[in-house]
């Protein structure tokens, strides 16, 4: 949404009329809204309340200082300095365009008395402190100085600005936006809670260091190493039943890294089979009747695999992936929940010694 910024131009008036025109032209080229003395050419105490209101409605304040301090208020300061003090007090970002060589300004555009010259000098010094200051000599220089200075100030300190009324949401739209924002905050809180807490009611399920008995089969066959004598061995493969008791943490630690992105169900099952192999192969090889035999094809009982899958889902650790796929892909894919990701990290990450 494009914004237009309102800029208050402050200066003495009659002696800087040409300079003000250059600055106003620069602001209009930037699609800014100029405001200032043109609205109040005869400044006095009665007009001051209107000037304050105009400054209140502005986004930035631009001060031009030439050779005059200007007419003074009852407090003994010029109206220009009073405007400056008010704008700074309101927190408006201020740009100061100060004449580089006041001594070269024509006599009729300069202060005549030492007292007023001193006030002008003191005002210049005050205006320079802690804000963007550019110096000028000729009126035509002010156009480019105003554009460059204001562009930089807007970039560093973006203000509220103005937009067309037809681009601003109506009251009902604003109310709806606020409701949606509150809903987003609520949902973000729920997501954060879900990522760090088990689902409600899951504490009744076996989990963590609780144990689960897994049944599986494996294949035993003779090693086929007699090709050198030209004999083709017959297939004497036999399948044996076996079981092992593992904790849910052990099972989940083995399969969860596959699901950081997602894993097809057959790969999920294959990883469980690999776990069974790793945990039992040394024990199985110790059996005398299996000496010098090849042991392979570890396959979990399908019912036990389904139990593992359902249990991890019930504990809020895994869920079916909802990622879009081709119509030809009929596979089932599993992925970690935010909570499952946190549990995996706690289980697998290396602890400090």
Q: pLDDT digit string (tens) for 251-282? A: 999 999 999 989 999 999 999 999 999 999 98
- 65, 119 Cβ separation under 8 angstroms: no
For residue 255, the tally of other CB atoms under 10 A from its CB is: 25
When pLDDT is averaged across residues 113-128 and rounded to a whole number, the result is 92
Residues contacting 66, CB < 8 A, separation 6+ = 11, 12, 15, 16, 19, 99, 102, 105, 109
Q: Distance of CA 11 to CAs 14, 44, 92, 98, 170, Å?
A: 9, 15, 16, 10, 39
Q: What's the pLDDT at 173? A: 73
pLDDT band at 132 (very low <50, low <70, confident <90, very high): confident
pLDDT at residue 234 is higher than 60:
no
Left, alpha or beta for 222 (phi > 0: left; psi -120 to 50: alpha)? beta
Average pLDDT of 193-212? 87
- pLDDT attached to residue 296: 87
Lowest mean pLDDT among 110-114, 218-222, 231-235: 231-235
> How far is residue 88 CA from its own chain's centroid?
32
Q: What is the Cα–Cα distance from 98 to 131, expressed in whole angstroms?
A: 12
Least Cα distance to 209 among 246, 254, 243 occurs for 246
Out of 30-39, 171-180, 245-254, the most confident range is 245-254
Q: How confident is the model over 14-18, as a mean pLDDT?
A: 89
Euclidean distance between CA atoms 311 and 156, whole angstroms: 55
Mean pLDDT for the chain overall: 87
Q: Are 49 and 123 in contact (CB under 8 A)?
A: no
The confidence score (pLDDT) of residue 42 equals 57
SS3 93: strand
pLDDT score of 278: 94
Burial (CB < 10 A; 0-12, 13-18, 19+), residue 89, is exposed
Beta strands in the chain (DSSP E): 6-10, 33-36, 60-65, 93-99, 132-136, 211-221, 238-247, 263-264, 294-300, 318-320, 333-336
* Residue of 301, 29, 3 lying closest to 163 (CA atoms): 3
Q: What is the mean pLDDT of residues 96-113?
A: 88
State the Cα torsion 330-299-275-315 to the nearest 10°: 50
pLDDT given at position 58: 94
- Give per-residue pLDDT as tens, 42-89: 566 678 888 889 999 999 999 999 999 988 888 889 989 999 999 999
**pLDDT tens readout for residues 91-100:** 999 999 999 9
Average pLDDT over residues 314-343: 90
């Amino acid at each position: 949404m494009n914004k237009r910024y309102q800029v208050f131009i402050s200066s003495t008036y009659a002696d800087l009329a040409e300079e003000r025109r250059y600055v106003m032209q620069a602001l209009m080229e930037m699609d800014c809204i100029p405001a200032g003395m043109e609205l109040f050419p005869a400044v006095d105490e009665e007009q001051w309340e209107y000037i304050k209101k105009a400054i209140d409605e502005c986004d930035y304040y631009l001060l031009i200082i030439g050779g005059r301090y200007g007419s003074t208020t009852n407090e003994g300061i010029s109206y220009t300095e009073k405007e400056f003090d008010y704008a700074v007090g309101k927190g408006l970002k201020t740009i100061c365009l100060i004449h580089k060589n006041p001594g070269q300004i024509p006599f009729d555009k300069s202060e005549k008395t030492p007292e007023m010259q001193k006030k002008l000098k003191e005002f210049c010094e005050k205006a320079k402190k802690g804000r963007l200051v550019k110096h000028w000599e000729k009126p035509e220089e002010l156009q480019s100085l105003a554009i460059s200075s204001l562009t930089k100030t807007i970039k560093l300190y973006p203000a509220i600005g103005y937009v067309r009324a037809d681009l601003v949401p109506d009251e009902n739209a604003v109310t709806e936006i606020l409701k949606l924002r509150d809903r987003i905050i609520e949902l973000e809180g729920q997501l954060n809670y879900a990522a760090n807490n088990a689902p409600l009611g899951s504490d009744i399920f076996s989990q963590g260091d609780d144990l689960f008995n897994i049944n599986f089969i494996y294949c035993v066959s003779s090693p086929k190493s007699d090709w050198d004598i030209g004999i083709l061995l017959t297939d004497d493969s036999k399948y044996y039943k076996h079981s092992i008791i593992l904790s849910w943490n052990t099972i989940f630690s083995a399969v969860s890294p596959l699901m950081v992105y997602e894993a097809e169900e057959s790969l999920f099952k294959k990883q469980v089979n690999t776990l069974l192999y790793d945990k039992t192969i040394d024990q199985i090889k110790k059996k005398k009747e299996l000496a010098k035999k090849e042991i392979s094809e570890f396959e979990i009982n399908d019912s036990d695999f389904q139990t593992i899958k359902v249990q991890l889902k019930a504990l809020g650790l895994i869920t079916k992936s909802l990622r879009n796929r081709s119509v030809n892909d009929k596979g089932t894919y599993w992925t970690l929940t935010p909570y499952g990701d946190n549990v995996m990290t706690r289980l697998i990450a290396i602890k400090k010694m």
